[in-house]
């Protein structure tokens, strides 16, 4: 995903427009010759659902899954669904003035991914920490604060786009029920799956996550 991992990391707002995120999806889908896949976005990656709906016509996905995230990143969505930890963590993540402060913030962030961080292997935490270090504060800022219009995504929901909201009940970043309340009036084909676990639900409760996700994907593709 743009700004993360091995992807390109532009550090200007112009490098993080909604159209560019949609183009990234299209490039990957075409590269793998995918025909109407189900898009699954985790955390901030869930917001790419809005980018796809706003910029690609006809809609190239059979359904979408917001896994531990909001299907849009606009303030009217994240501002409502975000929890206090998220709003406290973002300024620390985006601070470019104190390296030691930024690194401490990332360690706190990694622990918050899990419902019981003390039970998570140290090696796994270090893998997550390494990923955060790849993203400098200036890039974190443009990723988290980029403008986006969710209206086309909501319109797609009204036309029948299947959407699954898949959340851990102990998520420290976003309130899954709040995300549901935001999209429910617009999506006539909505699946809600709230299960035990934190933000990194695939580590906290992999078996149940796979079960819920598989049922949704099979229902969409049947």
pLDDT digits (tens, 9 = 90+) for 89-116: 888 888 878 878 888 889 999 999 999 9
Task: List the CATH number of the domain containing 38.
Answer: 3.40.50.1820
Q: pTM for the complete prediction?
A: 0.94
| Domain, as residue range, for 127 | 13-221
Task: Tell me the CB-side half-sphere exposure of residue 184, using CA atoms within 13 A.
Answer: 8
Using CA atoms, how far apart are residues 96 and 152, in angstroms rounded to an integer? 34
Whether residue 49 lies inside any domain: the answer is yes
Confidence of residue 5 (pLDDT cuts 50, 70, 90): confident
Whether residue 8 lies inside any domain: the answer is no
Mean pLDDT of the chain: 94
Number of domains in the chain: 1
Rounded mean pLDDT, 68-77: 95
Place of tokens 């049947």: 222
């Amino acid at each position: 995903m743009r700004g993360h991992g091995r992807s390109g990391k532009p550090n200007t707002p112009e490098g993080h427009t909604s159209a560019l995120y949609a183009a990234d999806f299209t490039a990957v889908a075409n590269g793998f010759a995918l025909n109407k896949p189900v898009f699954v976005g985790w955390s901030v990656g869930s917001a790419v659902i809005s980018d796809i709906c706003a910029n690609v016509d006809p809609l190239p996905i059979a359904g979408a899954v917001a896994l531990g995230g909001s299907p849009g990143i606009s303030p009217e969505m994240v501002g409502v669904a975000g929890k206090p930890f998220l709003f406290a963590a973002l300024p620390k993540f985006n601070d470019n003035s104190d390296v030691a402060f930024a690194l401490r913030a990332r360690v706190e962030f990694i622990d918050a991914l899990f419902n019981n961080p003390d039970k998570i292997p140290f090696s796994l935490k270090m893998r997550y920490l390494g990923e955060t270090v790849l993203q400098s504060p200036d890039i974190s800022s443009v990723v988290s604060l980029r403008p986006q219009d969710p209206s086309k995504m909501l319109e797609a929901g009204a036309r029948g786009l299947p959407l699954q909201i898949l959340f851990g009940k102990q998520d420290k970043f976003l309130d899954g029920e709040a995300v549901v309340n935001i999209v429910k009036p617009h999506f006539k084909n909505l699946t809600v799956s709230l299960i035990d676990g934190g933000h990194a639900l695939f580590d906290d409760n992999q078996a149940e996550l796979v079960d819920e996700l598989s049922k949704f994907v099979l229902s969409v593709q049947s």
